[in-house]
């Protein structure tokens, strides 16, 4: 069985108890599906307080040796169906579990595949609010695993603690390298240890991280989710 698909680009997730920021470069907005000419996004909202982000395959087809299609995955269609099943006040924990269940159904009949590209797995990051608590979850379909049926796991990355959570996908630099690079570009007001950064300031930082990536393709786009507010989407601007 052969697998083929398209990948999303850079994804940075920063979460604190005060909110979560999703940051991407523009590569996914220009990515074309294997089955259509429409652009394929890598971030979608589910209700007013949860987003799903793709850090792996956004469009994927598994075919048998005779060319017949066994399974297909399309991030846009996947998230639209999920959003349709939830209301405006969807909870991050519920969306994460529904994502795991739905993804399991897509890959459960897939046999041995040939990995394509450097990110052969489907990796979905669910971030947002459960009540007023910030949560981040990762749901992964391990297409590169030799185990069948394909294992799909769900991991809770951030539980609302004091220390910020950083998830960096599509970036090969270490966390220390990322920190050094954005420090070098950031204005002094963002480089401080005395007081915690706000969610809006972390959004500025996340944009700096992406902008220092050699393979970044601007514009840099962001989604902010903070307690008691709806999702806010924006294009990142270099901080002054």
pLDDT tens, residue by residue, 97-134: 999 999 999 998 887 655 443 446 899 999 999 999 99
pLDDT at 30: 44
Instruction: Provide mean pLDDT across the span 66-77.
Output: 84
pLDDT above 90 for 209: yes
- Tell me the per-residue pLDDT of 18-44, one tens digit each, with 9 for 90 and over: 999 999 987 654 444 455 555 567 899
118 falls within a domain: yes
pLDDT at 8: 66
Contact 8/36 with Cβ under 8 angstroms? no
User: What's the number of domains the chain is made of?
Assistant: 1
Instruction: Provide mean pLDDT across the span 176-198.
Output: 89
8-state DSSP, 179: H
Rounded Cα distance between 96 and 136, Å, is 9
219 falls within a domain: yes
170 falls within a domain: yes
Instruction: Provide mean pLDDT across the span 168-191.
Output: 91
The CATH number linked to 190 is 3.60.20.10
Instruction: Provide mean pLDDT across the span 72-95.
Output: 94
8-state DSSP, 32: B
pLDDT at 35: 53
15 falls within a domain: yes
Strands 133-141 and 152-158, bridge-based pairing: antiparallel
pLDDT above 90 for 12: yes
Length of the chain: 240
User: Against a cut of 0.85, is the pTM above it?
Assistant: yes
Rounded Cα distance between 182 and 53, Å, is 23
26 falls within a domain: yes
pLDDT above 90 for 175: no
240 falls within a domain: no
pLDDT at 3: 46
pLDDT above 80 for 216: no
144 falls within a domain: yes
142 falls within a domain: yes
Which range marks the domain in which residue 93 is found?
2-235
């Amino acid at each position: 069985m052969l697998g083929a698909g398209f990948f999303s680009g850079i994804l940075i997730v920063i979460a604190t108890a005060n909110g979560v920021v999703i940051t991407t470069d523009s590569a996914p907005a220009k990515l074309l599906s294997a089955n259509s000419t429409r652009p394929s996004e890598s971030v979608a909202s589910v209700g007013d307080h949860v987003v799903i982000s793709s850090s792996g395959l956004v469009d994927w087809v598994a075919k048998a040796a005779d060319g017949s299609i066994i399974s297909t995955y399309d991030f846009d269609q996947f998230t639209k169906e999920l959003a349709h099943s939830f209301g405006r006040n969807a909870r991050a924990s519920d969306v994460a579990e529904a994502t795991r269940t739905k993804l399991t159904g897509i890959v459960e009949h897939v046999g041995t595949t040939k990995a394509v590209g450097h990110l052969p797995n489907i990796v979905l990051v669910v971030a947002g609010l459960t009540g007023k608590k910030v949560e981040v979850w990762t749901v992964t379909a391990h297409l590169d695993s030799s185990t069948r049926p394909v294992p799909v796991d769900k991991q809770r990355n951030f539980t609302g603690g004091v220390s910020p959570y950083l998830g960096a996908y599509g970036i090969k630099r270490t966390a220390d390298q990322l920190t050094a690079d954005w420090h070098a570009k950031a204005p002094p007001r963002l480089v401080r240890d005395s007081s915690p950064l706000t969610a809006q300031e972390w959004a500025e930082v996340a944009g700096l991280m992406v902008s220092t990536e050699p393979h970044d393709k601007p514009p840099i786009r962001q989604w902010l989710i903070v307690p008691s507010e709806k999702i806010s989407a924006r294009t990142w601007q270099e901080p002054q």
